[in-house]
C-alpha cells in the first residue's frame, strides 16, 4: 500500500546555492522546510574546484566544501533533506503535491523551485576526464586561473563572445571555435569580439578531443567542411554552447520561457501563487553562486511572508448556492 504523503509548510526543490540558502532562511523562520535535494545533490558548485569569488572566504573555498557547509548550516536550524529527485508535481491546487522517485509524495502549502541549470557540454570522453582541470563553463568563475595562457572558447552565441571578451583580461590569447561560418551572437557582441586584437576565430570547426593527461594541454579540432584536423595548443577550454534549465518536471505546471527557464515576476513569484523560484532555474544572466544564494534568500522571505497571511490548512471553497 502506498504511504500517506508527508505534509510541510514549505518544500524546496533543489540543493544548490539557491535551494540551500532558501532552506537556511526558511528554517530560521521556523517553517521546518523539507528540501528535495536532487540526485546528485548540490548543484553546479559540486563540479567547481576553487571558488575565489564567494564573499567571506579570503583564501577561496572548494565548491563541494562550500555546498556541504551551506547544507550543514541549514540542517542546524531544522531543514530536512530528502536525497531524491522530484519526479512529478501538481501545482493545480493547494496543498501542492510533489512526488519523488523512491521517498514517496509530499504536500506543501508553498514551494520554492531551485533546481538550477546545467551547462551544455560537448559530450566528449576527454572532456569528462579533464573536467575542472582546465575545462570550465564559467569565465567569471575560472578565468583568473589562466593568467598569461592561451585559451579557447567554444560557441558562437552571445555567451561565447562575452566569455571570450572577459577572458582577454587574463589570457595571452583567446581563440573562439565555432561550428559554423556565421556567429549566432548579436551583431554588437560579435563586433566587439572581432575588434579585440587578443581574440581570433576558427570557423566551421568542432573540437573532437581535448588533449592532455593531468590537465588540458590542447585541442584537436576538425574542420567540418573538409574533414581535416589540426591541434591547437591551449591551457584552457571554456565551453559556451548554452545552458539547459532543469525544468522538465515543471512543464505544464509553471509558466516557462521558450528556453525552459521559469518565468518570474515581482522578484521570485512564478505563475502559480504560492510557488516561488530562485537561482539559475530562473536566471540565465548572472549564474553566480552568490547571486543564486541571494535569490534563494529572497524566495524564502517571499514564501514566508506569503505563508504568514495564509491559513495553515486550505479552506474548502463553500458550495455554490
Omega before residue 95 within 30° of 0, cis: yes
Residue 158 as a binder of ligand NDP (CB under 6 A): the answer is yes
Cα–Cα separations (whole angstroms), residue 314 to 4, 11, 35, 93, 111:
18, 16, 22, 10, 15
Residue 245 as a binder of ligand NDP (CB under 6 A): the answer is no
Q: Which is nearer to ligand NDP, 31 or 239 (CB)?
A: 239
How far is residue 139's CA from residue 285's CA, in Å, rounded to a whole number?
13
Specify whether 50 is catalytic: no
Q: Which is nearer to ligand NDP, 131 or 301 (CB)?
A: 131
Residue whose beta carbon is closest to ligand NDP: 157
Specify whether 297 is catalytic: no
Cβ(223)–Cβ(234) below 8 Å: no
Letter string b/e over residues 15-48, b meaning 16 or more CB atoms within 10 A of that residue's CB: bbbbbbbbbbbbbbbebebbbbbbeebbbbbbbb
CB of 163 to ligand NDP, least distance (A): 9
Residue 284 as a binder of ligand NDP (CB under 6 A): the answer is yes
Span of 33-41, 133-141, 179-187, 216-224 interacting with ligand NDP by CB under 6 A: 179-187
Q: Which is nearer to ligand NDP, 84 or 206 (CB)?
A: 206
Q: Which is nearer to ligand NDP, 242 or 294 (CB)?
A: 242
Residue 43 as a binder of ligand NDP (CB under 6 A): the answer is no
The binding track of 102-131 with respect to ligand NDP, each residue x by CB under 6 A or -, is --------------------x---------
CB of 270 to ligand NDP, least distance (A): 20
Cβ within 8 Å of residue 51, ≥6 positions away: 45, 57, 60, 61, 62, 63, 66, 141, 289
Options 63, 95, 143, 156; binder of ligand NDP; rule CB under 6 A: 156
Give the residue among 96, 111, 95, 103 at the shortest CA–CA distance from 3.
103
**8-state DSSP, 45:** G
The x, y and z cell numbers of residue 276, run together, are 516561488
Give the residue among 181, 148, 185, 179 at the shortest CA–CA distance from 163.
185
Among 109, 142, 280, 283, which one carries the catalytic annotation?
142
Q: Which is nearer to ligand NDP, 195 or 320 (CB)?
A: 195
Cα dihedral sign, 232-237-242-243 = positive
How far is residue 290's CA from residue 85's CA, in Å, rounded to a whole number?
24
Q: Would you call 279 helix, strand, or coil by DSSP? A: helix
Specify whether 141 is catalytic: yes
How far is residue 14's CA from residue 282's CA, in Å, rounded to a whole number?
13
Q: Which is nearer to ligand NDP, 56 or 123 (CB)?
A: 123
- Burial class of residue 72 (count of CB atoms within 10 Å of its CB; 0-12, 13-18, 19+): exposed
Residue 162 as a binder of ligand NDP (CB under 6 A): the answer is yes
CB of 137 to ligand NDP, least distance (A): 10
Span of 80-88, 154-162, 227-235, 301-309 interacting with ligand NDP by CB under 6 A: 154-162
The binding track of 187-226 with respect to ligand NDP, each residue x by CB under 6 A or -, is -------------------x--------------------
The residue ranges that bind ligand NDP (CB under 6 A) are 122, 154-160, 162, 179-180, 184, 206, 241-242, 284
Q: Could you give the residue numbers annotated as active site?
A: 138, 141-142
Amino acid at each position: 500500500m502506498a504511504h500517506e504523503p508527508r505534509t510541510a509548510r514549505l518544500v524546496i526543490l533543489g540543493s544548490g546555492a539557491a535551494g540551500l540558502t532558501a532552506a537556511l532562511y526558511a528554517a530560521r523562520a521556523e517553517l521546518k522546510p523539507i528540501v528535495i535535494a536532487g540526485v546528485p545533490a548540490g548543484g553546479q558548485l559540486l563540479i567547481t574546484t576553487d571558488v575565489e569569488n564567494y564573499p567571506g572566504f579570503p583564501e577561496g573555498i572548494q565548491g563541494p566544501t562550500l555546498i556541504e557547509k551551506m547544507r550543514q548550516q541549514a540542517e542546524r536550524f531544522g531543514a530536512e533533506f530528502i536525497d531524491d529527485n522530484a519526479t512529478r508535481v501538481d501545482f493545480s491546487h493547494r496543498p501542492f503535491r510533489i512526488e519523488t522517485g523512491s521517498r514517496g509524495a509530499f504536500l506543501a502549502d508553498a514551494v520554492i523551485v531551485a533546481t538550477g541549470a546545467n551547462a551544455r557540454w560537448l559530450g566528449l570522453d576527454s572532456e569528462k576526464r579533464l573536467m575542472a582541470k582546465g575545462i570550465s563553463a564559467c569565465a567569471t568563475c575560472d578565468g583568473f586561473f589562466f593568467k598569461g595562457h592561451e585559451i579557447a572558447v567554444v560557441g558562437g552565441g552571445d555567451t561565447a563572445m562575452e566569455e571570450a571578451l572577459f577572458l582577454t583580461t587574463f589570457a595571452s590569447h583567446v581563440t573562439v571555435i565555432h561550428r559554423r561560418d556565421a556567429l549566432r551572437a548579436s551583431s554588437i557582441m560579435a563586433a566587439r569580439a572581432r575588434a579585440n586584437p587578443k581574440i581570433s576565430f576558427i570557423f566551421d570547426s568542432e573540437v573532437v578531443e581535448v588533449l592532455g593527461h593531468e590537465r588540458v594541454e590542447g585541442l584537436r579540432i576538425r574542420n567540418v567542411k573538409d574533414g581535416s584536423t589540426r591541434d591547437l595548443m591551449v591551457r584552457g577550454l571554456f565551453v559556451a554552447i548554452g545552458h539547459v534549465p532543469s525544468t522538465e518536471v515543471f512543464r505544464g505546471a509553471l509558466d516557462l520561457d521558450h528556453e525552459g527557464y521559469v518565468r518570474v515576476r515581482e522578484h521570485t513569484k512564478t505563475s502559480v501563487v504560492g510557488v516561488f523560484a530562485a537561482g539559475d532555474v530562473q536566471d540565465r544572466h548572472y549564474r553566480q553562486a552568490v547571486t543564486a544564494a541571494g535569490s534563494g534568500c529572497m524566495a524564502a522571505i517571499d514564501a514566508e511572508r506569503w505563508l504568514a497571511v495564509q491559513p495553515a490548512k486550505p479552506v474548502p471553497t463553500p458550495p455554490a448556492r
